[in-house]
Amino acid sequence: MQSGQESQTGQEPESTPVPRKVRRAIISLWDKTGAADLARSLVALGVQIISTGGTARLLSEAGIPVTPMSEITGFPEILGGRVKTLHPRIHGGILARRGNPSDLAELAAHGIETVDLVAVNLYPFAATIARPGVSLAEALENIDIGGPAMLRAAAKNFPSVLVLVDPNDYAEVLGYLRAGQAVPLAVRRRLAAKAFAHVSAYDALIARYLQQDSPAEGAPAGEVPASEAGEGQAPAGRVRAAELPARLCLDLDKIQDLRYGENPHQIAAWYRPVGQPRMPEAPARLDQLEVLQGKELSYNNLNDLAATLGLLAEFSRPAAVAVKHATPCGVAEGITPDEPALPVLRRALEADPVSVFGGIVAVNRPVDRAMAEALTSLFLEVVAAPGFTEDALPVLQRKKNLRVLRMPADWAARVQSQPPGIEVRAAAGTYLVQTTDAPKPALDGAELLARGLWKLVTGPAPDAALWEDLVFGWKVVKHVRSNAIVVVRNQVTLGIDGGQVNRIDAARHALQRAGEAARGAVLASDAFFPRGDVVAAAVAAGIRAIIQPGGSIRDEESIQGAAAANLTMIFTGRRHFRH
């Protein structure tokens, strides 16, 4: 069989002899963790070290003999270091198959020596683009070219060349080499897979960065992007398919394995986007929370916590949110910006004391001792807050299994200031992708009405207190599973129901939970009323005002029912389905 055919059959890697000895190694690292120890150990084994730039300087200063890359290529670094490793004397030495006589003959003819180990990691693109105000030019300068090329070459030729991208792998490889043993093919293959994954994730991060500010392909000129459409601009605010990339690159790093998924028989793990470490200046992300005490977070804890913090981010005044099975069961907001957090917390806990049992509670103000006493008066899975006073933590520690988490103090501001992200959902072997229904900065109902974004379709104009409840209800209902109805008064939820297959059942259940407290309250709906039955139920319960998107072909039926009862009804023009 000819050598050219061998590589196409897939047989050559298994038959290629695995080298026992490493004679030449390229070390070129941005993250220089363990670099000097690796190089020193290799030199002790008789390995020639070839290096570039800052890595070469580091090794030389450590007294380790280094051969400059330019000495191997016979060509200096050019374009300010942009071109230094892209050369046949480098890539030929990496890519030559040791079991292929033709490859080795070509190397000999051109005076090229083989390279047996490549230790490379890449320019810090993720850290660069995470810096506030970073320019496009700065980002482009931190796109590595030579590093990925060497990694791909070494990983492709893994039977002959060891490839290292992770300092955690140095010790394992050195162990084999010190023992005079060949690094097993299975280990080489695993290292190659890690290298390809490293490069793939790096490229995906760059692609996402360049896509995020690019004009939508095929988008009509002058159309308002969905991310900029105002509240109430439903038609112009619709997400066009062209705003999402034709190829979505989604690479993730595992944060940790979880005990199990939603159920004990399901395997689960927690991931973050590649290249986005837990950085203080990064956009709001769940892994930025600090665990202060309690059992390990579970899949269900994390899912519920994400729902809790998503709703909490809607509020700038003191607020408390209780969630069970990713659904709000008690929410309260301060009547004034300076209202103490304790009464707000109590109102949220008392909103549905049955459902909150075994749930998650988050507040957007530091927890003091009195708040800790209130939180430990019932069984909770998780408590989250931006801080805890010294005398609060001992109280919380009485519940040793209670998970206590500290969130960034500016969580709401981070969430509200960052552009909408994406949500990905598996759908029978395919994936559905949409932009998030992200929290908006503080809504002013009267201003939205004045601007024509919201409409008063019937009833008396809201006074200031009623506007507070209308806006509060509208913020909460978007976080409840559809069909969703929320009843609120004095900025506390009285009745919440969602996940129903028809809207009238959701309304009846929410009104039933509210009971007599529904008289004079506000009812919020995540979508329009298909008929007038919801308004009739609201009128019978004594509801004072309704806020809903409108848009049904039978809106007039609902409007007439509200008008007959002198009930205020606001149309927002924006639906908030959540499935």
Q: Which active-site residues does the annotation give?
A: 156, 325
Judge contact between 238 and 225, C-beta under 8 A. Answer: no
Judge contact between 81 and 53, C-beta under 8 A. Answer: yes
Judge contact between 484 and 578, C-beta under 8 A. Answer: yes
Mapping DSSP to helix (H, G, I), strand (E, B) and coil, where does residue 374 land? helix
Give alpha helix (H) positions in 142-218. 146-156, 170-178, 185-212
The β-bridge relationship of strands 430-435 and 117-120 is unpaired
**CB half-sphere exposure, 439, CA atoms < 13 A:** 26
Mapping DSSP to helix (H, G, I), strand (E, B) and coil, where does residue 139 land? helix
Judge contact between 96 and 160, C-beta under 8 A. Answer: yes
Judge contact between 382 and 323, C-beta under 8 A. Answer: no
Six-digit token string for 371: 């708040």
Closest CA to 364 of 416, 311, 301: 311
Give alpha helix (H) positions in 352-455. 369-375, 393-396, 411-417, 445-450
Judge contact between 130 and 279, C-beta under 8 A. Answer: yes
What does each C-alpha distance from 178 to 24, 25, 59, 120, 171 come to in angstroms? Answer: 15, 15, 21, 21, 10
Six-digit token string for 89: 């004397």
Give alpha helix (H) positions in 247-392. 299-312, 341-351, 369-375
Give dist(CA 574, CA 455) in Å, integer: 11
